[in-house]
Each structure stands twice: as C-alpha cells, then as structure tokens.
Structure 1
Amino acid sequence: MSSSGPSVNSEVNSVSKSRTKISDEAFERVATGLVEALERGTEAWPLPAPPMSDPDFPPIPPTSPHRLFEEGLGILSIDRGMFDRHLNTVVDLIVPHRMNLSDDPFEIHQKWLSRRMGDVADRLLFHIATDWLAQAFDPHAPNTDRWWLSIALLNGLATVPYGQPVHQGYHLVESIALAERPGTWHTQPDAGPQHMDWNAHAVVPRMSSTVVAHERGVDAARWVLERLEDGDLDRRLLLLEWIRLLLERKPLIEPLGLKDLLLRRASDPVGEVANKVTLCLAKAIEAD
C-alpha cells in the first residue's frame, strides 16, 4: 500500500479548510454589505418599474425596503453555489501570479485574501448585482423579483468615483438603458483620428451604431443617474465618470439626457465636479 495516502488526504483537508474559511469570511462580509447597499439603494422609494416583464405574470413591487432586504439575504443564503462560483472568479482575478498553476489560490494566498476581504466582498457584490440583472433581463422569462433587487443594489453600490463602481457600475447602467443582459451586446467606442483603426472614408456601420435605447430601460437608467446627481460629492463625481463613458454610446446620449446633466453639473457648487465636466465636453460636442 502506498504511503502517500495520508499525506494526500492531509493536503486535501488543508485546501478544503482554507476554502471554507475564506468562503465563510467572504459570505459574512457580503451579507452585511448586501443589506447596507440595499438600505442605501432604497432611500429613494419606490423603485423604478422593470423594463421587461412577462405579460402573464404582472410585476408585483416589493411592499417595503425591509421586505427587499429579507428577500436579498434569502436568495444569497439559498444559492450558496452561485456565491462560491463568483468567489472562485474573483479570487482567480485578484490573487498574485501563481508559479505553479496546480496551486490552490485559497490555500496559498489565504492570509493575503483575508487582508483584502473588503475588496473581495465589493467585487462579489457587483457580481451578484450583475447576476440578478441578467435574470431580470432574461428574454424568455424575465425575473421581476431580481429586477427590484438589482436596481436597488446598483444604486446602493454606486458610492465612490473609483474602482468597481466606475466600470462595473457603468456597465450595469448601460445594460439597464438597453434592457439587455450584461455582456450580451458587443459594442465599442466609435473610432476617431486618435485610434489606429480609424478610417476617414469608412462606410461600414460601426459596432456602436447597433446600440438601441430601450424606452422603459432608459427611464430606469435615468432614475439611477438622477439619484447620483442628487447625492453627495463622491456620487456626483461618479456620475461624471459614468457620463464620460456613456458619451461613447451616441444612441444613448439624448435619451439619457446626458447633455442636460452636464449643463447642470457645470454649475455644481464644488469646483471638482465642475472641472470633471470639462473632460466630457469634447465628446459631447462631437456628438452634435
């Protein structure tokens, strides 16, 4: 009989314990962060209506923010498999380069991950918001219960003008304006003279021209943008970051009222916000 058996079992147990410890710690952080984000995200009540719904099952809005908190925590607790899948994705993204690809990042980087659990939890919350929004925009069976959760969670996570709220948040608000599942459309900014692929004589429609604003999706996206505009300094700065990115989507500029937002924020009492507006002007003028 091979003598390696106990050693292998010991290694497996060590990996399992490391994964369980990180997973439990992350889950606790995410559960707390979820409730806090939903509390912030439902300060403006009621929430906007879902852009998509099944005509045979009319959407039933949540009766109160507290009811939404309970539902969100319930889904998180029941679908632990979804949570662990997202955790694996986040860990693979943020752990330092592994010399040996067979190494388990949970075991090798357990202490490193524990020290960065705040970042892990933030990323997980955006993954969950993305997952719920994708279910809300399922073209065959739109889940309106997930809609209320995802729109409130996005609003509650949009707190600072850097990190995940900028690019992940922008991606979600764009998805809402299009009423499309996140990642299911393929667009890119229009090429200009500053880009290597620019062709002044091109007549082939560029990818971004295929973007089509969704009327009810736009209403919901504007609701989110207005919440940021009415928010504190960090929220208003985040709004300008989103506008800068949204200006790359010409079909969304007018429906979302981006130029009106820029005009109002140009008069912001805080100079830092007004200065950010200037970074958007060139693209806004180009869109005319």
Structure 2
Amino acid sequence: MIPDKPQKKVVERIGETFPYLFENADKIIFNQSYTEIPLLKSFESFEKENFSDLLRILCTLGSLNLANEIKTDEKNYFLGEKLRIRKISNTKSSGLLTAKVTPQLENDQKGKSIIDIMDGTTKLFQMEMDYFIIDETSFKRIFESHYHAENTDDFTTSLPNTSIEYLSESEFNITVDEFTRNHCSGHFDNYQIVPGVFIGKCILKNIFKFSADIDLEIDNLELFLNKAMPINTVFNVNVKIMHLSKNLRNYKCTVTDNTTQYGYYFITFKN
C-alpha cells in the first residue's frame, strides 16, 4: 500500500516565500471562522513609512487565510486587487498588537480578507483586501514576461533612493529609483514583480518628508493597482494634495513610468 502524500502546509500553497514572508508565518494555526495572530510589536513599530510594513504582514495573512479556505494542496497566487485600511479608534496604542483575520472566499478565483488590528480589546484599524486568486499554471502564463529562471538568495532590506520635485504647495512628484531582484526576493519567487507595499513605503516616506513641518497621522489608505510593477524600472509618482477639512487632507498618488500607469494610492491624514 502506497502511503498518502503528506499535505503541504498552508504557507507552501501561496506565492510568497521567505525572506519576504514575515517571521513565524509557517507556524500559524488556523481556526474555523477566523484566525487571531499576535504581531509581537506595538503600533510604534509601524508609524510613518513603517505603516507599510504592517500592510505587508496583513496582506500575507489575508492570503494565508484564503489559501486555508480553498482546501487544496495546489499552490495559488493571491494578487491584491484593492486594499483599504481605515482607523477605527483614536485611542493611543499601549501594548502589543494582534490581527484578527476573517476570510471570505467568493469562489476559486476571487476572495476577500477582513482584518481587525487590535490592541487588547480595542480595535485600532480595520483592513479589507480583495484578491484575485490564480492557479500556478495560469500565473506562469500570465506573467511569463516577468519570469527569471535563476534563483537569488540575496535580500536587500534598504529600498531604492527617492527624490522629490516640488511643484506647488499642493502638488509634488516623487522619483523612485530602480528596484532589483534582491529587493523583491521571496515575493513571487522567480517573478520579478515589485510589491505594492514597497512602493507605498517610498510614497509615505516622501509625504512625511514633504510635510515635515506638519504633524501628520495616517487615518486611512486605499490602494488600487491595475498592472504588475516590474523591477529595473524608474517609477514616477505624482502626488496631489486635497484639503478635506481643517484637520483632514488627502494625498492622491499616481504611479507611472515613462509609458505605463500602474495604479493609485489614496492616503488620508489627520493633522
């Protein structure tokens, strides 16, 4: 009698691998309706541009929970269609955060994860992430032009250089130098695609730099990407500022290169 083939861990059934994956991603225990995961950090670790580090963890948590719902041993790739995270409570975080993830699997090609970021019993933020779910064969066909057969074990944690071009008090441009394979190691291995949260970190860093004389606090963030962002490409981000009220301002960030528009980041700040 041939023994049953061991079932793959959930972490082996998504496109992300280490070092892009967060620490202990392979040790998560999944419940029936939701999964609660300690993030082992306080909110102070995710302030300013490091807010994108929180998004990176949460997006992968959403992928893992949907992969667990699919109940298959086959690998799937979870591509973010749109992301929205909004502040629920103005209570100052005082302890280590946890994430409560509720997956909503629509079918084998579409899904959503709703994630509450908790400080004890206080809900600080809520995030919704919509995903396209693509099987391995289809992913290879769709993103063939991004494929590179050679693996890389190197990982660069420092992001590319950026610069600001001042246009007016309500508009500026950000230039993001080229990402390399080493920047994106573990993010869809062998597919040279820049994670949206990495561009988001570059954008946030420069917004805080441009508005250094104002005490800004992230209130909500929305992300819509319509095309995969390739490595070895200089990205241009046009940022337009709209004042919604005395204490709220929205930054519309359009990501392009010389020929292609990749998507939008809408970020609202309290000041």
Provide the TM-score with structure 2 as the length reference.
0.24
- The structure whose residues are more often strand, as a share, is 2
- The structure whose residues are more often helix, as a share, is 1
Provide the TM-score with structure 1 as the length reference.
0.23
Structure of greater Rg: 1
